[in-house]
């Protein structure tokens, strides 16, 4: 399956909008599953895009760029991986074999963009100190619209100019390597879940994991059903804890009121 100019342009625009939203409005946040699904929708294969995005969503759990640090861009990886998986027909693992390294390379691009942004901020501050507010206001949008290029540029190069190179690399891969990629791709969701469990209060609520596993694996309940039961359990737990907190704080409030009356 090839990719039309409109599709390539739409995917590049999607990457640009993602990074613009990330550094400005923050409506959607960093959700690889969302952008993977949208990429699949653009290319006419939502299922593959959703699967790629979900896998990278699990990989990104617990990973954050604190302060000014840089981290792999899993959204860029999801968009490129989904595009390559759909257009080449080589499978999800093969797409991620190309998308993930590009997502890793965006760390270097992120550092370069931040250095440029620092220069823009310094120039803007200079205009502000000189009370040249017109020039200051013209400088600020430059950084706003420059940042999204950090994602749009590698995505554009990968989906437009890299298609032939990517197909050549994938065709050159021996079968044992492709099988290994598929095995590794199958393990990634489990690794992501394991990383998530590290941050969860397993000693207190770990039994819910067992209940969910039994419902899904042995009783063949759909994922939506398990999720709805989980929501109901969470609401019940929330109400119980609120009731407990109310029962604990009420005697203290009455005690303080009696002390004030005695005084």
The answer to whether 58 and 191 have CB atoms below 8 angstroms apart is yes
The per-residue pLDDT for 34 is 92
List alpha helices for the chain, DSSP H: 5-22, 32-43, 46-60, 74-88, 92-129, 133-146, 149-156, 163-172, 175-198, 202-205, 207-217, 223-262
Cα radius of gyration rounded to whole Å, the chain: 25
Residue 29 CA to residue 34 CA, distance in Å, equals 10
The Cβ of residue 101 has, within 10 Å, a number of other Cβ atoms equal to: 12
The per-residue pLDDT for 218 is 92
The per-residue pLDDT for 164 is 63
Helix/strand/coil for 254: helix
Burial 217-233 (b: 16+ CB within 10 A, else e): eeeebeeeebeeeeeee
| pTM of the shown model | 0.63
| Tokens describing residue 117 | 């942004």
Residue owning tokens 């699967």: 51
pLDDT digit of tens for each residue in the chain (263 aa)?
Answer: 567 888 888 999 999 999 888 877 778 878 889 999 999 999 988 999 998 988 888 877 766 655 555 677 889 989 988 988 888 777 777 777 778 777 777 776 777 787 788 888 889 999 999 988 888 888 888 888 888 888 888 888 888 776 566 556 556 767 776 666 566 656 656 766 777 777 778 888 888 889 988 998 899 998 889 989 999 998 988 888 888 767 666 555 555 555 555 55
The per-residue pLDDT for 183 is 66
Half-sphere exposure (CA, 13 Å, Cβ side) for 219?
A: 12
Residue 15 CA to residue 23 CA, distance in Å, equals 13
Q: Which helix (H) or strand (E) holds 45?
A: none
| Nearest by Cα to 167 from 72, 224, 69, 83 | 83
Query: Using the 8-state DSSP alphabet, how is residue 161 labeled?
Result: I
């Amino acid at each position: 399956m090839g990719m039309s100019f409109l599709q390539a342009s739409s995917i590049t625009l999607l990457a640009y909008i993602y990074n613009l939203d990330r550094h400005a409005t923050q409506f959607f946040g960093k959700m690889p599953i969302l952008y993977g699904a949208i990429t699949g929708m653009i290319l006419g294969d939502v299922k593959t895009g959703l699967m790629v995005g979900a896998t990278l969503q699990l990989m990104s759990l617990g990973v954050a760029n604190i302060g000014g640090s840089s981290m792999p861009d899993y959204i860029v990886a999801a968009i490129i991986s989904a595009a390559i998986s759909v257009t080449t027909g080589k499978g999800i693992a093969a797409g991620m074999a190309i998308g993930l390294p590009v997502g890793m390379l965006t760390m270097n691009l992120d550092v370069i963009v931040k250095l440029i942004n620092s220069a823009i901020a310094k120039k803007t501050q200079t205009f502000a100190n000189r009370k040249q507010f017109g020039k200051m206001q013209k400088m600020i949008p430059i950084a706003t619209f420059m940042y999204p290029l950090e994602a749009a540029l590698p995505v554009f190069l990968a989906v437009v100019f890299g298609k032939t190179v990517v197909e050549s690399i994938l065709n050159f891969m021996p079968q044992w390597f492709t099988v290994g990629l598929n095995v590794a791709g199958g393990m990634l969701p489990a690794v992501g879940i394991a990383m998530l469990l590290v941050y969860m209060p397993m000693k207190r609520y770990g039994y819910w994991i067992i209940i969910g596993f039994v419902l899904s694996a042995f009783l063949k309940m759909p994922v939506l059903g398990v999720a709805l039961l989980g929501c109901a359990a969470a609401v019940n737990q929330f109400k119980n804890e609120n009731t407990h907190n109310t029962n604990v704080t009420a005697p203290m409030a009455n005690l303080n009121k009696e002390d004030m009356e005695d005084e």
